[in-house]
Amino acid sequence: MGLSFNKKTIRDIDLNGKRVLVRVDYNVPLDDKGNISDDYRIKKSLPTIQYLLDQNCSIVLCSHLGRPDGKSDMSLSLKPCAEHLSQLIDKPVEFANDCTGDQTKQLVDRLQPGQILMLENVRFNPGEESSEESRASEFAKQLASYADVFVQDAFGVVHHGAASVSEIPKYLPGVAGLLLEKEVDTITNVMENPARPLMAIIGGAKISDKLKILNRFIDIADVVVVGGAMANTFLLAEGIQIGKSKAEPDDVPLAKEIIEKAKAKAAKQKFVFYLPQDGVVATSLDTNARTRIVDYSAHVIASIEAYPQMPKREAGIVAEDELILDIGPFSGAFIAGAMQLADTVIWNGAMGVTETPGLQGPIGPFAHGTELIVEAMLGQFGHRPFTVLGGGDTVGYIEDRKLTSSFNHVSTGGGASMELMSGKLLPGVEALQDKE
């Protein structure tokens, strides 16, 4: 492993026959009928659970699901997760209808080595996310009373300060699970010691959300690409009309600063900061909306389409009633081409509105730019870099396309992977025991 992970893991302590409380991240997407529509996060917890079973532990699992705000909302019960986990490991998983209380305590006390109990959604308890320290610590104490050791394996929440994340280790020895270790290690290593050239592709909506990560990548990467709605604010900063596209006009000065910083770096060394040169626009997000390509700067597509005439002026201008909903084919091809020379690619944020379903197949009208990037990352144009994916919408898209296993590392935590990439400490990791 890399030099990065300095916390004790389940491999560093004697767990034989112990009772272990494991914080997992089973915050999985559910369909209209309440069934689990993607079990990626549950599957990612299996190595830790299997290791603990091999050590003859009895296991108490706790997790959150959704945002029930301290109230019981049975549509967000973890019971389907317990049933699903039981199928995956071919072993019964008991379920407690609450995370505290006498009945739960009895179920915990009855656990034998090799048995697993899952507690109900910790967010049904007001103590989990309470801002009152006494309430949070009271809840954490109750959870801690169930076990001899606490294992943190929920990478998706370690950037939060919730009771089940950073409070429990105050009352129980806390160590990392195998998923948490792998996530922190992989992400820290690609940020601190990547195989170069390093390319970062940053999408998503708001510059303000990704300012730290953008700045960090301009410092450390060889190529930085901006896409998604966030690119619209950069286009505004460059004086390009964006119609009624989503943007953050207040962030234009920030965008200008970032562009200047990138230009200064490019003047000194080999560095590319790339903003889309064309886009796919439509007047609505509708599946049936007519799309067209607008060339902001390259004018290649417009010239070819209009030949032998000169392209019409509107071929290079987004109309007032139009929205930019994806990067265009020229930009997609440029990014895919640059990727042929990259040895590490970090991707965070889709390039367009990937949620709009397509009429001709799985790829929607505004997902072609994102799809081109996926193809390039998977080596369809020749070279296959080491790939790390993070961010909720990116991972969601890859899950929908059933491609999660095709990349080197697909992070189970959107916010946590971003915080880690921008160099922040994660409270849920800091709370664990240090290696000697």
Residue 291, both tokens: 């799309």
**Whole-number CA gyration radius for the chain:** 24
Active-site option among 105, 135, 141, 206: 206
User: Which residues sit opposite 282 in a β-bridge?
Assistant: 323
**Is-contact 293 340, C-beta < 8 A?**
no
d(CA 61, CA 338): 44
Bridge pairing between strands 323-327 and 292-295: unpaired
> Phi and psi of 73, rounded to 5°?
-130, 100
d(CA 50, CA 392): 27
Tokens 């049936």 belong to residue: 288
d(CA 61, CA 117): 6
Active-site option among 8, 19, 41, 44: 41
Q: Which helix (H) or strand (E) holds 294?
A: strand 292-295
User: Which residues sit opposite 248 in a β-bridge?
Assistant: none
Q: Is 212 tagged catalytic?
A: no
d(CA 428, CA 392): 19
> Longest Cα pair distance anywhere in the chain, in angstroms?
82
Bridge pairing between strands 223-226 and 198-202: parallel
The single-letter code of the amino acid at 432 is: L
Q: Is 206 tagged catalytic?
A: yes
Residue 117: strand, helix, or coil = strand
Q: Is 41 tagged catalytic?
A: yes
Residue 13, both tokens: 């302590």
Sheet with 58-62: strands ordered across: 93-96, 116-119, 58-62, 19-23, 149-152, 174-176
Q: What is the DSSP letter of 76?
A: G
**DSSP code per residue over 191-252:** HHSPPSSEEEEE-SS-HHHHHHHHHHHHHH-SEEEE-HHHHHHHHHHTT---TT----GGGH
> Phi and psi of 164, rounded to 5°?
-80, 0
Active-site option among 228, 332, 390, 392: 392
- Intra-chain end-to-end CA distance of the chain, in Å: 16
As a dihedral over the C-alpha atoms of residue 301, residue 303, residue 304, residue 310, rounded to 10 degrees, the angle is 150
d(CA 64, CA 120): 8
Q: Is 170 tagged catalytic?
A: no
Catalytic residue positions, numbered = 41, 206, 392, 415
